[in-house]
Amino acid sequence: VCRLHGRYHEMAPNVVPMDYTKDPDVKLPMQLIINMPELKENPFKERIVGSFSEDGEGSLSFNDFVDMFSVLSEMAPRELKAIYAFKIYDFNTDNFICKSDLEQTLNKLTREELTAEEITLVCEKVIEEADMDGDGKLGFADFENMISKAPDFLSTFHIRI
């Protein structure tokens, strides 16, 4: 944690206090955090920070910061990671991954190199594969069921710090 605090501090030395015993209320804005080297190249960086942020605007207090890296670490259990992954990929935060969420994910992943037809095809396929209850979008149960069988989920959904 001291290491994390060091990183947190060096992002904004004049704002973040060294001493946390008095529980200061300090938040770092999203812009600073997504410039961290670990997150810089990640296409989902805004969503990651957003889903751990308490005030919904993307600012992270130190607690949230620790939370984020703890979930993304190697030691976090699969279910916990699945919960947060669901939150991250749910762009419109309606607790469902609907088609538009999928489209946005895909665009971020491929940097919009796919044609519109290909995008719709892929999104439809995903819904077809994973949607169990037939509502046309992925609820958490669908997502979790699908991701728990994925062999690489644990190794890719992991940030080392």
Partner 1 sequence: DDDSNEEDGGGQQNGASRRKNYQRKNRDRKKAGEEGSKQRDRGKKAPTKDQKESENKEKKTTRKGKEGENKQEKGRKNSISSTSSHSSDEESLSEEELAMLMEQVEQKKKLISTMRNKPWRMVKKLSVLREAQAFVEKFEGALGKGKGKKLYAYKMMMAKKWVKFKRDFENFKTQCIPWEMKIKEVESHFGSSVASYFIFLRWMYGVNLVLFGLIFGLVIIPEILMGMPYGSMPRKTVPRAEQATAMDFSVLWDFEGYIKYSALFYGYYNNQRTIGWLKYRLPMAYFMVGISVFGYSLMVVIRSMARNANESTADGDDDNFVFSWKMFTSWDYLIGNAETADNKFASITTSFKESIVDEQESNKDENIHLRRFLRVLANVLIICCLCGSGYLIYFVVKRSQTFSKMQNAGWYERNEVEIVMSLLGMFCPPLFETIAALENYHPRIGLKWQLGRIFALFLGNLYTFLLALMDDVNEKLAEEDVVKNITYWTLLGHHNLSVGNDSSATPPPLDPADVPRGPCWETTVGIEFVRLTVSDILVTFITILVGDFIRACFVRFVNYCWCWDLEAGFPSYAEFDISGNVLGLVFNQGMIWMGSFYAPGLVGINVLRLLTSMYFQCWAVMSSNVPHARVFKASKSNNFYMGLLLLILFLSLLPVAYTIMSLPPSFDCGPFSGKKRMYDVIQETIELDFPVFVAKIFSYVANPGLIIPAILLMVLAIYYLNSVSEAYQRANAELKKKMQMQREEEKNKRNNKASTNPMLQDLEDLLTPSTKTESNPKQAEDKKTESPERTSPVRKPGKGGVLNGSPMTSGRGAAFIPPSHVFVTQPLALGVRAPYPGQPRPRGHPMGLIPGRGRGQPRY
Window 20 to 79, contacts with partner 1 (CB under 8 A): 20-21, 37-38, 40-44, 54, 61, 63-64, 66-67, 70, 72-73, 75-79
Q: Cα separation of 73 and 110, whole Å?
A: 25
Tokens of 137: 């979008």
The yes or no reply on residue 15 touching partner 1 (CB under 8 A) is no
Q: Cα separation of 27 and 86, whole Å?
A: 24
Window contacting partner 1 (CB under 8 A); options: 9-17, 27-35, 147-155: 147-155
Residue 138, SS3? strand
Q: Cα separation of 111 and 117, whole Å?
A: 15
End-to-end, the C-alpha distance of the chain in Å comes to: 11
Interface residues toward partner 1, by CB under 8 A: 1-3, 5, 20-21, 37-38, 40-44, 54, 61, 63-64, 66-67, 70, 72-73, 75-80, 83-85, 89, 102, 105-106, 109-111, 113-114, 118, 121-122, 124-126, 128-130, 132-135, 144, 146-160
